[in-house]
Amino acid sequence: MSEEYEYRHEVEDLQQKSATAARLFDVRRIIGGLFVIYGIIVLIAGFTASDADVRKASGININLWTGSCMLAVGLLFLLWMRLRPLSAPGAEPKPEPARPGGGPGAGPGTGEPGPGEPGGREPGSGTG
């Protein structure tokens, strides 16, 4: 009995490590983090841009705009990762809560006509 317990405990431990590794190497985290870091760097370059740099870009502080857009995209990736986390590989999705009256054997409305409805059988009609 204890061997079975140890085996189950080991399997659960490996599943937990696998789920942690999957979340750690989520591509959204890597891409979002890089966009945030580079966005901050370019944003700083935009704040410290000289008048000559702005004149080269037709009067637009391109580093300021590009840095703020990169920062926004990176934060959106990280928000997406936060709102929709990865599940463990091979894990079953969480079941949806059952709706009242739904499911097999719920009576009329499940796709088969009930007694007294068009196409329905009356009890004792001998068909079927």
**Model pLDDT for residues 5-28, shown as the tens digit of each residue:** 777 777 777 777 776 666 667 888
**Model pLDDT for residues 32-69, shown as the tens digit of each residue:** 999 999 999 999 999 998 888 889 888 899 999 999 99
Q: What is the pLDDT of residue 122?
A: 57
DSSP annotation of 106 reads -
The reported pTM is 0.54
Q: b/e map of 37-57 (b: 16 or more CB within 10 Å)?
A: eebeebbebbeebeeeebeee
Mean pLDDT for 122-126 is 59
Nearest to 75 by CA among 34, 47, 24, 22: 34
Helix, strand, coil % in the chain, rounded to nearest 5: 55, 0, 45
Check the CA dihedral 115-117-121-124 and report its sign: positive
CB 115 within 8 A of CB 122: yes
